[in-house]
Structure 1
Amino acid sequence: MGFHPEWSEISTLVNESKSIFIKKLSRNDTSWADDPKNGHQNGFFIPRATAESDFFPVLTSSNPEKPHIFDIKYPTFWPASGELKTSTIKHFSKRHPGDIEKERPRYEWQHTGVPREQFQSLNPASLLLVGKLKETKAGAEYWVIVVDSVSEEAEIIETVFKLESDFHFGTFDPALLIEPASDTDLLIAELTQAIHDRTLEQFIKQQTLPSPELLAGQAQAKWLADNKFDDMNPFSLPEPGNAVMRISRDIEYSIYKQAELRIRTAQVAKLLLHGVGDPVTNLVRGFSELDSIFLSAAQTRKSRAGLSFEHHVGRLFRDGRIRHEAQVVFGGRRPDFVLPGVKALNTNGDAIIVSLKTTLRERWKQLALEKPLGAIFLATVDDRISGEAIDEMERNSIHLVVPESLKKAKEKETAYSAYENVITFKQFFDIEVNLKRPSLVLPL
């Protein structure tokens, strides 16, 4: 469920805070909310690094008879429901006093006293935000918001805080959530000059979003240079899935945002300053145009994500000399890749259909129709897929292909580790292609 305020309210709270803690919620943080058997549990876990920092209140040993237990009670404000809760942070420095075998520190602190309903029915990889306010608000120094991973707000948070694909938790200074001064100041200076010279129209025409092919090439080149590889041969890369996830979700998106900022800010400046009235009048009268600018921006981002994934997986196929065809139409269908090619479907036991989805949701179900044509593999970088969906894929003979780090992640972080029909990119290339279907790989 994770009902939460819209980004405008979250942003206001962020700006009123002196520090922000963000955690990608694991199963241990949320499963209790959906299981009536765990009625005694009520909260999430704070990682050791954060608990031992100065973000949360200091814990003390308040019970002389149990000196190994440290805790603190403090008020928390939950904006989604407007509740003020008395929360507790508790740390058991030893599991079982007196038992030498089990007398070892616990490295997570439990935070209880939370609204149960806000942790119910959450998708995997949802986010927890805790703000430490500059001034007390609603009787509390801390606010807490739970954001479902499939919401628009989650996407905005990942962008604003620059949460990369392998993010788990961290604390942030809101004052530093500004683009580097050099890039920002340069754009401001260019726009100011264009407005002064009355050349804003020309400035806008000069700003273009790089083509998907160009973006992909730039991002791949940066990753290869940073990691000192000559190419993206999946048989040589130790973790090809992690490489694709890093390139598509982090590096390429960063390059894209720089280009997007230039063109969108120029478009908005034109709307505000080149109308018939003052900026406020132009804003109100031109709001539908402003809305269209940002709608176009959102739609372009979403379409870019899918194309990005396709370009990078295609690069793995090419550099690995793997026989394939991309986006071939047959029988009203157009899978992303067919190995070795569409003519082999239904006639070659080695034929593979590879479909790509950056985010799955329910769209994967159409793949079940292609089951008689060849083995089906669904590749994704989505870490929010439930166990129920994976079970249904297995019933439809669909193998899920995920980055190595997502498959290796503990069960509490993703659902993948427990399922045999979920394999890594490395396993796909080394076992499903090279070992089981060697004819798919062209000789050197």
Structure 2
Amino acid sequence: MSIVEKAIQSAQESEIAFSKFIKPNDTGATGGHQAGFHLHKSSWPLFFDAEGEKGTNKDHFATIKWQDDFETTSRFIYYGRGTRNEYRLTRFGKNFPYLTDDNVGDLLIISKKSIDYYEAFVLSSDDDIEDFFAALNISSTETNGIIPKQSEQTAEDNLITCFLKYIKTLTVDFPPTLEIASSSRKCYINAYDVTINQIKSNPDREILKWLEAEYDLFKTLENDRYAELIKNPFPSVEDLVVSANTILNRRKSRAGKSLEHHLEEIFRISELIFQTQVVTENNKKPDFLFPNIEAYHDSTFDEKKLVLLASKTTCKDRWRQILNEADRIRTKHLFTLQQGISKNQLEEMKKYNVQLVVPKAYLSSFPQEYRSDILILEHFLNFVRGTQK
């Protein structure tokens, strides 16, 4: 069994589990407090019976088995004295391998097996991280906290009502990913009465809300479609495996196109001129080209007004794929939901003229000294708008 399979099994079989992207603040790269994993305040049920109280510190020691390989006696601690108000996981012993700068951007999973015993896993590759998200049916926006149980409904009642009405209109089991993205977005916008001006003024917030809404719709659709299937025993292990693989592959396929669909809508609302999946050199198809392929192939068109944007939910491994997608465009932009990337990788991206674009809420997950080189979505839109004047 692979590490990601063990991590999935551990999280699914635990009474409570937690996930987060490892950030510079965890490794001590920011120069703040001592190294140790920072845990979101909402995660206190993972290790305490009650929430920490300001003005006091409290801790809990437990054995943690890492990667199904070695154990540490570590300390969950709440710092509430003075100006501090945070939870951390510390004390891993000498030569602990998962608190280096190269681990920034990796996914940490902690599963509670008993009050004094936990299992923890660190996933590094994009494929492993996406496999974990698909198996647990969560998105990258749902990290840095307790992993919701499959039976939990996290969306507001009015949003769920819209989802259920939509599902009743379907004549197929699972519609195309574009339709799921569009329908979930419409439900969210109607349920929360979001205006066009709100989307234009805060695209960074809205795209994350759209992604969350789509995941909620997809969960609701899955629960509806597989309700009868999971009630009855499978006739053989092979049938079980085939069904499970079908479910997981559909999840991964949808997630892979989801971000692209929502970005496309943001660009439309922002009234930008762009094209998707057009062919450049060597039959390459960049996700987004601004303004269009005619301008790209026009040798007299100012190259400074050509913009390429690739979209990848995670990019620790895959960012290099975009380097030869458009030879005329020196700087390649890459929108990602990756939270945190090591300094070494950021330096390499800079060397190859790749500029990251991330939601504003994720900017703080990157090392302080590199944030000025990273665009938030709002600033990217303004940049493209400036090239189209």
TM-score, with normalisation over the residues of structure 2?
A: 0.74
The unaligned stretches of length 5 or more in structure 1 are 33-40, 59-67, 95-103, 134-139, 181-204, 273-278, 440-444
Give the letter for the 2:381 counterpart.
Answer: F
Residue 427 of structure 1 deviates from its aligned partner by: 0.4
CA contact (8 A) 2:335 2:357 kept: yes
CA distance in 1, matches of 2:79, 2:228: 55
Aligned to 2:61: 74
Taking structure 1 as reference, are residues 132 and 154 closer, same or farther at Cα in structure 2, changes over 3 Å only?
farther
Deviations 1:368-401 (A, max 9, x none): 2245423532222222433323322222222221
CA distance in 1, matches of 2:227, 2:78: 48
Residue 7 of structure 1 deviates from its aligned partner by: 2.3
Structure-to-structure mapping, 1:233-244, within 5 angstroms: 237-244=200-207
Q: Looking at both structures, which has the greater relative contact order when contacts are Cα pairs under 8 Å and sequence separation is at least 6?
A: 2
Mapped pair 1:293 → 2:235: no
Identity of aligned residues (%): 21
CA distance in 2, matches of 1:171, 1:256: 17
Which of residues 277, 302, 309 in structure 1 aligns to 2:259? 309
Aligned to 1:87: 74
Which of residues 120, 143, 147 in structure 2 aligns to 1:145? 120
Mapped pair 1:262 → 2:213: no
CA contact (8 A) 1:371 1:396 kept: no
CA distance in 2, matches of 1:3, 1:341: 43
Give the letter for the 1:423 counterpart.
Answer: L
Which of residues 373, 388, 391 in structure 1 aligns to 2:347? 391
Give the letter for the 2:110 counterpart.
Answer: L
SS at match of 1:329: coil
CA contact (8 A) 1:158 1:164 kept: no
Structure-to-structure mapping, 1:344-423, within 5 angstroms: 344-345=295-296, 346-349=299-302, 350-370=305-325, 372-374=327-329, 375-407=331-363, 409=364, 413-415=365-367, 418-423=370-375
CA contact (8 A) 1:402 1:423 kept: yes
Give the letter for the 2:375 counterpart.
Answer: I
Per mean C-alpha deviation after superposition, the further-off stretch among 398-407 and 374-383 is 374-383
CA distance in 2, matches of 1:157, 1:338: 29
Deviations 1:181-205 (A, max 9, x none): xxxxxxxxxxxxxxxxxxxxxxxx9
Aligned to 2:163: none
Aligned to 1:330: 280
CA contact (8 A) 1:73 1:86 kept: no
Give the letter for the 2:346 counterpart.
Answer: I
Mapped pair 1:218 → 2:183: yes
CA distance in 1, matches of 2:257, 2:79: 48
Taking structure 1 as reference, are residues 312 and 399 closer, same or farther at Cα in structure 2, changes over 3 Å only?
same
CA distance in 2, matches of 1:293, 1:118: 35
CA distance in 2, matches of 1:46, 1:6: 18
Give the letter for the 1:247 counterpart.
Answer: W
CA distance in 2, matches of 1:6, 1:54: 16
SS at match of 1:348: coil
Residue 334 of structure 1 deviates from its aligned partner by: 1.2
SS at match of 2:324: helix
CA contact (8 A) 1:91 1:106 kept: no
Mapped pair 1:178 → 2:151: yes
Aligned to 2:377: 425
Residue 255 of structure 1 deviates from its aligned partner by: 0.9
CA distance in 2, matches of 1:49, 1:257: 23
CA distance in 1, matches of 2:175, 2:279: 27
The alignment yields a C-alpha RMSD, in angstroms, of 4.1
Residue 131 of structure 1 deviates from its aligned partner by: 1.9
CA distance in 2, matches of 1:49, 1:258: 24
Residue 344 of structure 1 deviates from its aligned partner by: 0.8
Per mean C-alpha deviation after superposition, the further-off stretch among 106-115 and 371-380 is 106-115
Taking structure 1 as reference, are residues 75 and 414 closer, same or farther at Cα in structure 2, changes over 3 Å only?
same
CA contact (8 A) 2:12 2:136 kept: no
Residue 9 of structure 1 deviates from its aligned partner by: 3.7
CA contact (8 A) 1:89 1:112 kept: yes
Residue 319 of structure 1 deviates from its aligned partner by: 2.0
SS at match of 1:355: strand
Aligned to 1:195: none
Aligned to 1:275: none
Aligned to 1:126: 107
CA distance in 2, matches of 1:437, 1:357: 23
Taking structure 1 as reference, are residues 343 and 92 closer, same or farther at Cα in structure 2, changes over 3 Å only?
closer
CA contact (8 A) 2:107 2:123 kept: yes
Give the letter for the 1:336 counterpart.
Answer: D
SS at match of 1:56: coil
Residue 209 of structure 1 deviates from its aligned partner by: 0.4
CA distance in 2, matches of 1:22, 1:93: 23
CA contact (8 A) 2:37 2:88 kept: yes
Give the letter for the 1:304 counterpart.
Answer: R
TM-score, with normalisation over the residues of structure 1?
A: 0.66
CA distance in 1, matches of 2:186, 2:207: 12
CA contact (8 A) 2:20 2:144 kept: yes
Mapped pair 1:108 → 2:64: no
Give the letter for the 1:348 counterpart.
Answer: F
CA contact (8 A) 1:207 1:262 kept: no
CA contact (8 A) 2:309 2:335 kept: yes
Taking structure 1 as reference, are residues 207 and 266 closer, same or farther at Cα in structure 2, changes over 3 Å only?
farther
Q: Larger Cα Rg: Structure 1 or Structure 2?
A: 1
Deviations 1:188-228 (A, max 9, x none): xxxxxxxxxxxxxxxxx965102223212212213323443
Aligned residues: 357
